[in-house]
Chain A
Amino acid sequence: AQKVTQAQTEISVVEKEDVTLDCVYETRDTTYYLFWYKQPPSGELVFLIRRNSFDEQNEISGRYSWNFQKSTSSFNFTITASQVVDSAVYFCALSPPYNFNKFYFGSGTKLNVKP
Chain B
Amino acid sequence: DAGVTQSPTHLIKTRGQQVTLRCSPKSGHDTVSWYQQALGQGPQFIFQYYEEEERQRGNFPDRFSGHQFPNYSSELNVNALLLGDSALYLCASSLQGVYSGANVLTFGAGSRLTVL
Chain A positions near chain B (C-beta within 8 angstroms): 4, 6, 32-33, 35, 37, 42-47, 50, 52, 91, 93, 95-108
> Which residue numbers of B lie inside 8 Å of A, CB to CB?
3-4, 31, 33, 35, 40-45, 48, 50, 55-56, 58, 88, 90, 92, 94, 99-110, 112
A100 to B101, CA, bound (A): 6
Knowing A50-B104, A107-B41 touch, does A101 contact B90 (C-beta < 8 A)?
no
Question: Interface centre among A93, A98, A101, A102, by most B CB within 10 Å?
Answer: A101
Contact of B43 among A6, A47, A103 (CB under 8 A): A103
Which listed residue, A47, A104, A107, touches B106 by the CB 8 Å rule? A47
Report the Cα distance A45→B92, complex, angstroms: 9
Most-contacted residue by chain A among B40, B43, B50 (CB, 10 A): B43
- Do A103 and B99 touch (CB < 8 A)? no
Sample (6) of A-B pairs whose CB atoms are under 8 Å apart = A4-B42, A35-B104, A37-B107, A44-B3, A45-B107, A103-B105
Given contacts A100-B100, A105-B43, A107-B41, 15 further A-B contacts (CB under 8 A): A6-B42, A43-B88, A44-B108, A93-B42, A95-B101, A97-B101, A97-B102, A99-B101, A100-B50, A101-B101, A101-B103, A107-B42, A108-B40, A108-B41, A108-B42
Shortest distance from the beta carbon of B104 to any chain A beta carbon, whole Å: 5
Interfacial chain A residues near B44, Cβ < 8 Å: 105
